[in-house]
Structures are given as structure tokens and as C-alpha cells.
Chain A
């Protein structure tokens, strides 16, 4: 069983640029969610996707957007990067119809200079 994989693992961008982060969900999982974890903080929910549609969103501005593909993989896009966007971005997947734990990837660490 393949776990949640994310790419890239590390990246550096400059303020104003755009970034795309990718996530492959665990086999059989149809729901993907994204979390932002700033240094020294707990993860904060960004949004969740099910059947290629966003079905839940946290307190993040519209420049944070996402996609889910038919194979359940997902992308997180952030436009007009700001210094405060520097964080670890975690992807998590689960089966929507099985109430259970989220399975997390190792994250993509974004540094904005």
C-alpha cells in the first residue's frame, strides 16, 4: 500500500512568485486535504477536496487554490507569495466513507525570501 507522497520536499521562492505543490494520496483514498504548518505551530487547515471539488475551506485567502484529479491526486497553488507563506505544507488523505485517521505525507517545506 503506497502512502501519501508529496513533491517537492523543499523549495525556495521569492516574494510575489507563484508555487505549485503536489500530492499523491494513499491508494484507495478519495479525499485530500491540505494543511499549513508555520514554524513552531500546529497545522492549520487550508482546504479539502472530494470528487475533484473543494468541499471545505479554512481561513486562507483566495490566492491559495487547489485541484484534485480523477486519480485523487491533488495540487496546492499559491499566488503572489508573501514572506508569511513560508511554512511546511502537509497533504493528508482518507476515505471519505470511513471515519478514521488522516494519513499525512512528509510535507513540502516552502521558504519565501
Chain B
């Protein structure tokens, strides 16, 4: 069975601080996809990144970066120089490599960035 654990329920940081959101996953599949989604107060889940298990390179997109470590089954997300607009709930998710199975989500981490 697949499982995603986001141990941090809530995090508060002051604007411009860096923050890392942790994600640990469990799967019996040897190949799979990992995702991060952002959920602002409007409710819509906004796609941030998809990473397949073949590729362990870290990825950077602007102020966002992701650290994938297959050896520890972790896919952590760092926001550099956080801004108030980053305040949201962030979800880590997992699916099989076909992409046709449903996403398995963690419980999310609520990030509050204080001005």
C-alpha cells in the first residue's frame, strides 16, 4: 500500500526566512511519481512539481527547490526567502508510474508566512 507522511502539521515563519516542508513516502513500487501541490484559501489544488523515481536530481524553480532522496524515501520542499503569498497548505502526493492511478496525498502542512 502507498502512504505519504507529512509530519509537520503547521509551520509559521517570518517573511524572508527559508522554510523546508518534509515529505516521507512508502510504496512497494520500484517506479513511481511524486508531486507537490499548493492549496490556497480558495481551495483549488495548484500543481507545483512532478518528479519520477528515475530522476534523483534536485530541482530548483525560482524560490522553490525540491530534494528527492530515494534512499530515505523523502521528497522535501524548500521555499527560499518566503513571502506572505506563500501562505497556504502544501500537499505531497504519490502515484504509480502509469499516472492512471489516483494520487495518494499526505495530510498537508499549513504554512503561515508573517510579514
Q: Please indicate whether A and B come from the same complex rather than being unrelated chains.
A: yes
- Point out residues on A near B: beta carbons under 8 Å: 33, 35, 40-45, 48, 56, 58, 88, 90, 92, 94, 96, 99-107, 109
In this complex, which of A33, A44, A99 has the most chain B Cβ atoms within 10 angstroms of its Cβ? A99
Say whether A106 contacts B44, CB under 8 Å.
Answer: yes
Listed from nearest, the 6 A-B pairs whose CB atoms lie closest are A42-B105, A99-B99, A45-B102, A104-B45, A101-B47, A106-B44
A43 to B106, CA, bound (A): 8
> Whose C-beta in chain B lies nearest to the C-beta of A105?
B44
Chain B interface mostly: loop
A102 to B35, CA, bound (A): 10
A101 to B52, CA, bound (A): 12
A42 to B37, CA, bound (A): 11
* B98 contacts chain A at the CB level, 8 A cutoff: yes
CB distance from B42 to the nearest CB of A (A): 5
CB distance from B68 to the nearest CB of A (A): 16
> Whose C-beta in chain A lies nearest to the C-beta of B93?
A42
> Whose C-beta in chain B lies nearest to the C-beta of A44?
B105
> Whose C-beta in chain B lies nearest to the C-beta of A3?
B44
Say whether A33 contacts B99, CB under 8 Å.
Answer: no
A104 to B45, CA, bound (A): 6
